[in-house]
Structure 1
Amino acid sequence: MSRRLRLAPDPQAPATERMHPLDFHDTLDLPDVGRISLHVTTLDHGHVRYAVRGSHLRGSFVLIPEALTDGTVLPSTVTVQYGAGEGSPSDLQYDRVHRPEEPVVFNARLHGWTNHINPDAPPGSYFLGPYAHILRNGVHRPVTDGVRRRTETLLRAIARHWARLPHRQELITSAARCKAAELAEHEAGKAAALEEEAAALVIRRAQARRRVNVLNGIIRRRPLPIRPADPAPVRVPITDAKGGSLGVITVREISVDAEVAGSVVYEVSGTSRVQGRFTVERNRMRPQPMPEGIHVAYGHARSRFTYEHELPPSVNGVTLSGGWDCDDCADITATTPAELPAQLRAGGSAPAATQRRASAVLRALALRYLARPDAEALRLAAAKEYAPGLLGATRLELREMRARQREAERQAALHREREKQYRALL
């Protein structure tokens, strides 16, 4: 059985508070239950045992202030343990072992506990919860309606009685002190995570502000001169990934910086192996102020938002669709990247020989586009096309990050204050 807690009186407290008894008797008259006698004993760690006697009722209930993770610093709810004994209320819950002095209501022996009871406003009914059982012959059984109603009436009365104890503040402080170190570390961990998040947001906001400045500069820049399309056919050699020759293709420019900003549409002809059009532009799939990399689409692209394009090419007699994105132009040579995407227009991947030749054509056209004397002008044209949308998205992102940072800082400060309060209890 738990030891009684003998608290030293506080000399600064009013006389009425210094004189509270730690072991006393009382009686309660309850509807549908009748008169019951209480033997109230204050135990260690803020626990209080109620030894109850009445008609068809006997046993002990231990009220334990709940020091909960992420709860109030000083407990505001209690757990009612059925039976006496030290340790967590859940220690014997799933063992078929009775606690000492478990309550007996109408010859039903209660086992387990009921938690989260607000003593200032006890619940109405059906609140015993899933951890309250009748333990009989080593078997857990559900609480019957009659036992439940009588027990709930008694628990409400005991909770209200506990709430009026003159040393209630000492009880909840003692209970909180038991877990103060653990809960202080928990609060410190949450505060540190939030402070790390806020610091990361500071860096991201600075990066976003620089992006806004760059985008505004792009929008204000004057366009550079772009060379018009040259329809004269040009013979371009192509090679496989090992440097072996795959012959020569004939290329001519169809349009420059027309439907898709900064793009060049090439038509490949003059050989039975490759026929059709390709659209080459800067990689539009990365939200950078100045687009990097390269994108080659199969067909004549008239919009950046479609996957299928007009006049798709055929390679080795197979019609292809889709495209290729490359993040870094420095990675592109006549032989690299080795294998590039080649999807059949009807679905599925192209045969290996078709993919090998299509890859060679994509690399050759990308290099031809990057070698143009107006390549930087095309890049700026693409950037100016994308800049207003990116600017709006970046400004929205800035507002959201600012709100998240302030909330993270506010939450971190709250957790630091709670940590401080827990450590003060120690």
Structure 2
Amino acid sequence: MRGTRSDRRPSNPALGPLTFDVHFLKHGRTRYVVRGRHIRGSFVVIPVAAKNGPVLPETVRVQFSCDGDGDFWRSPREDEPFVHNVRVHGWTDGIDPDNPPLGWYLGRYAVNLRDNGIERELPTGARRRTEAVVQAVVRHWSRLPERAALVLAAATTRAAEYAEHEAELAAEQEAKAASAQAERARVRVRSWLYAVNGISRRRPRPRGPLRPGWVPVSLVDDKGLGMGALRVREVEFSEALPGAVVYEVEGCRLAGRFTVGCDQWRPEPLPQGVRVTYGHVEDSSPFCHEHPHEPRVFGVRIGDLWECEAAKITASSPGRLAANVRTGVRARMSASDAAERRRRSRSGG
């Protein structure tokens, strides 16, 4: 539609009657050529969609010139409005066409441009009259039968840009969701949530009896070579360390007890791995430096403890396990290689 004329009287009587010559431009822009007492020039209404907002524009920008480009240049543009001989340059945006503001809303890009290119703030009178004209233009535009088509045309020009932006936002949120899901899975695995909840709801089962008698055990070194045999028996379930069992061993040049259980002092809710204390850990001294019935290897009493992940324990590994000597010339030192190999074969196997 081109050359449509409509006489409008703004709410400010000081403006007098205004004549609008309406021209539909490309990309959904609408040019209003305004003529009135002490007022002449073009106002272009441009539907604008904000990023992260609705897909279809809900606000408009009003450009002060005959072209619809929204850039701000420091030079006069064709048919810029003159309001009481004050050149109005730039634009103002963020206007709701269904409820335009009443006053003092022109943005910082609405200025007076002098002939020498110097920008100045609009005088109060010119500003008030310019705001009244913009209100009248926007109200007229909001009632156009072509309004929906204009909004859609404006949205189409930046649809690809907005689609790319929305895709980036979606990818960002999907990455956050995947990270949160992975973190949730890690927390569940780490806390063993289901197992802990299941255990907390169970009634403790009665503890079974100790296996009677001695059990023969073959010894091997870290290379898998035989080192003889010994016998083992279960002495008791440890009361000082719940879940641990006290074993007694007898063999050639080897005798004593070992308290074997899980490592209860790791951060996991359920005990992990294996913890072996040399000697019989009793109720009165679970954290003592020395324990009764510590094993003797080649006549040397061995003390201390060791711990390991259960998956790494075989008949021949780990290759070395720490042990301190309690007596003899090596007191408070590490056990000899021969004593350590024999002790390792028993506690590791």
TMscore range, shorter length: 0.5 to 0.7
From 184, 193, 215, the equivalent of 2:172 is: 193
Aligned pairs for 1:34-45 (under 5 A) are 34-45=16-27
Aligned pairs for 1:323-402 (under 5 A) are none
Instruction: Note if contact 1:47-1:171 (Cα within 8 Å) is conserved in structure 2.
Output: yes
Name the CA distance, whole Å, in 2 between partners of 1:122 and 1:49.
18
Q: What is the SS of the residue equivalent to 1:32?
A: helix
Please name the residue that 2:247 is paired with.
none
Q: CA deviation at 1:192?
A: 2.1
Aligned pairs for 1:7-406 (under 5 A) are 21-30=1-10, 31-87=13-69, 89-90=70-71, 93=72, 95-136=73-114, 137-210=116-189, 211=191, 212-216=193-197, 219=200, 225-226=239-240, 282=265, 288-290=268-270
Name the CA distance, whole Å, in 1 between partners of 2:238 and 2:93.
73
Name the CA distance, whole Å, in 2 between partners of 1:224 and 1:55.
104
CA RMSD of aligned residues (A): 3.1
Q: CA deviation at 1:216?
A: 2.8
> What code does the residue aligned with 1:152 have?
E
> What code does the residue aligned with 1:167 have?
E
Instruction: Note if contact 2:92-2:106 (Cα within 8 Å) is conserved in structure 1.
Output: yes
Q: What is the SS of the residue equivalent to 1:289?
A: coil
Q: Percent of aligned pairs with the same residue?
A: 44
Q: CA deviation at 1:168?
A: 0.8
Name the CA distance, whole Å, in 1 between partners of 2:121 and 2:272.
68
> What code does the residue aligned with 1:176 have?
A
> What code does the residue aligned with 1:29 have?
R
Aligned CA distance change for structure 1 residues 97 and 224 (closer, same or farther; 3 Å): farther
Name the CA distance, whole Å, in 2 between partners of 1:100 and 1:147.
19
> What code does the residue aligned with 1:186 have?
H
Rg larger in structure: 2
> What code does the residue aligned with 1:215 have?
V
Name the CA distance, whole Å, in 1 between partners of 2:135 and 2:238.
82
> What code does the residue aligned with 1:168 have?
R
Q: Deviations over 1:372-415 (max 9, x none)?
A: xxxxxxxxxxxxxxxxxxxxxxxxxxxxxxxxxxxxxxxxxxxx
Name the CA distance, whole Å, in 1 between partners of 2:77 and 2:172.
42
User: What 5-or-longer segments of structure 2 have no aligned partner?
Assistant: 205-236, 242-263, 274-306, 310-320, 323-333, 335-349
Instruction: Note if contact 1:117-1:123 (Cα within 8 Å) is conserved in structure 2.
Output: yes
Name the CA distance, whole Å, in 1 between partners of 2:172 and 2:144.
40
> What code does the residue aligned with 2:46 have?
I
Name the CA distance, whole Å, in 2 between partners of 1:150 and 1:175.
28
Q: Deviations over 1:121-160 (max 9, x none)?
A: 1012111011111111211111121111111111111101
Structure with the bigger RCO (C-alpha within 8 Å, sep 6+) is: 1
Corresponding residue pairs, total: 222
Name the CA distance, whole Å, in 1 between partners of 2:187 and 2:86.
68
Q: Give the TM-score normalised by structure 2.
A: 0.57
Aligned CA distance change for structure 1 residues 144 and 329 (closer, same or farther; 3 Å): farther
Q: Give the TM-score normalised by structure 1.
A: 0.47
Q: What is the SS of the residue equivalent to 1:160?
A: helix
Q: Deviations over 1:37-92 (max 9, x none)?
A: 111100010111111111111111111010322222111110000112243x12xx
Instruction: Note if contact 1:23-1:42 (Cα within 8 Å) is conserved in structure 2.
Output: no
Q: Deviations over 1:182-230 (max 9, x none)?
A: 1111112212222233333334334444431243356569796326xxx
> What code does the residue aligned with 1:42 have?
F
